[in-house]
Structure 1
Amino acid sequence: MKEEEGVKVTLDKLKEELSYINKFVYFDEDDYLREKVSNSSKVNELIKEAEQMLRTCEIEEDQYFIQGILGNLYRVSELPKRAIHYLKQCYEYAVHHNVMKKEIVTLIRLGEAYKYNSQHKHAIKLFDESISKCKSSNETHFLDFALQHKGKCLIELRQFDQAEQCLNEAYDLRVLKGNDELLSSTKQALDLLVSLR
């Protein structure tokens, strides 16, 4: 029990540190608005902490969380193969435990990792699967995210009509959510689309 508590304390510390990660992540306007890091040493420090924590963690739910974090950190650090490795494990966990919300979130994250690995068609397949699961399971909270990521991937493929359709649908859903930050993100993607056409 004490060991589990020790992992929890460290996990709480990691979660706290992750809350500041947005300070170091930005959307690169010169690279299709891909997320990148401005302080790679801080992100590498977080990766090292998370890797170490994963080695000692025995609680499956916590392993899922840590692997998801590692997947995102490796992706924004432009190491997509490592991201894919961890996110595949997350997806196996979500499917095994039949947690639809986690399946959807992980499919979106995995799609992004494949996009960063220049496997756009596979990414689109995963985004489509997440969209389908959102609609069939009524987990529509994530539908705008899936549509936005698919739209941005389609921009990279220069499939502008389809991209516009996805992004407009995401925008409409985000208007309903009333989240200005999310709306701004979609508007930025639509502006990029217009500039590339």
Structure 2
Amino acid sequence: MIETPFDLSYHYDDNLQDVPNNSGEMQQAIDFWQAQLDQPGLEIFQRIKLLGRIGGYARTLRNLDRAEQALSTALTLSKAIENRRFEAANSIKLAHVYQWQQRYVESETMFEAVITLCQNDPEAAPYLDFAYQHFGKCKFDQQKYAEALQCFEQALNIRMEKGDSELIASTELAIATTHSRQKCHDSGASATYH
């Protein structure tokens, strides 16, 4: 698969959502991958990888319909070839799309299923921290801050074992943001009742 020369970097906003640093280049990357996807004779593994990339970055660009379509196809193909690693990765990404579509029941059901998959299948196990991290963000979006913190703590424990400083920093940011939001939420709620 040809690597993209485009800027795919992003940062997190106050709601723990990823925001592209260069939306134009991110869109160019999606178009670039789409052109590869349209090539005849593409192997199924390459097709799944391209669909996963398109879906993930389309979500970041808030093109949720395109993201859902690409990731649903990637997930279907992953299950068809019984590749648990691809299944876990694309399930997390699709659940994240459902979350942003505010389809929380579907999102939570999918996150719970992928956590179970990661806990029970060694091939999917490397994605367990990602599943907890994104499940936490789903809880955060619903203002279920205590539950979000539990998920983030689970992710952090795994990430500390992995020793990946970038992933650890991402989870620590999520925890700090959730604590802050929880304090504001609790003080606002208590002020209402006085």
Would you call these one fold, judging by a TM-score over 0.5?
yes
1:42-191 residue pairs with structure 2 within 5 A? 42-59=25-42, 60-138=44-122, 139-191=124-176
Q: Deviations over 1:112-163 (max 9, x none)?
A: 1111222222111111111000011133211111001001110111111211
Give how far 1:109 is off.
Answer: 0.7
Question: 2: distance between equivalents of 1:188 and 1:133?
Answer: 26
Question: 2: distance between equivalents of 1:42 and 1:147?
Answer: 29
Q: Tell me the amino acid that sits aligned with residue 55 of structure 1.
A: D
Q: Deviations over 1:66-112 (max 9, x none)?
A: 11111012101001111010000000111000011111111001111
Question: 1: distance between equivalents of 2:107 and 2:37?
Answer: 26
For normalisation by structure 1, the TM-score amounts to 0.86
- Asked whether the equivalents of residues 148 and 170 of structure 1 are also in contact (C-alpha less than 8 Å), the reply is yes
Count, aligned residues? 180
Give how far 1:191 is off.
Answer: 0.7
Q: Tell me the amino acid that sits aligned with residue 21 of structure 1.
A: L
CA RMSD of aligned residues (A): 1.4
Q: Which has the higher helix share?
A: 1
SS in 1 for 2:93: helix
Give how far 1:17 is off.
Answer: 2.5
Question: 2: distance between equivalents of 1:41 and 1:132?
Answer: 37
Gaps of at least 5 residues in structure 2 are 183-194
Give how far 1:27 is off.
Answer: 1.1
Question: 2: distance between equivalents of 1:172 and 1:61?
Answer: 31
Give how far 1:26 is off.
Answer: 1.4
- Asked whether the equivalents of residues 57 and 63 of structure 1 are also in contact (C-alpha less than 8 Å), the reply is no
For normalisation by structure 2, the TM-score amounts to 0.88
Question: 1: distance between equivalents of 2:40 and 2:26?
Answer: 21
Q: Deviations over 1:23-78 (max 9, x none)?
A: xx11112xx11112121111121122222221224222221111111101210100
- Asked whether the equivalents of residues 8 and 20 of structure 2 are also in contact (C-alpha less than 8 Å), the reply is no
- Provide the residue aligned with 1:196 in structure 2: 181
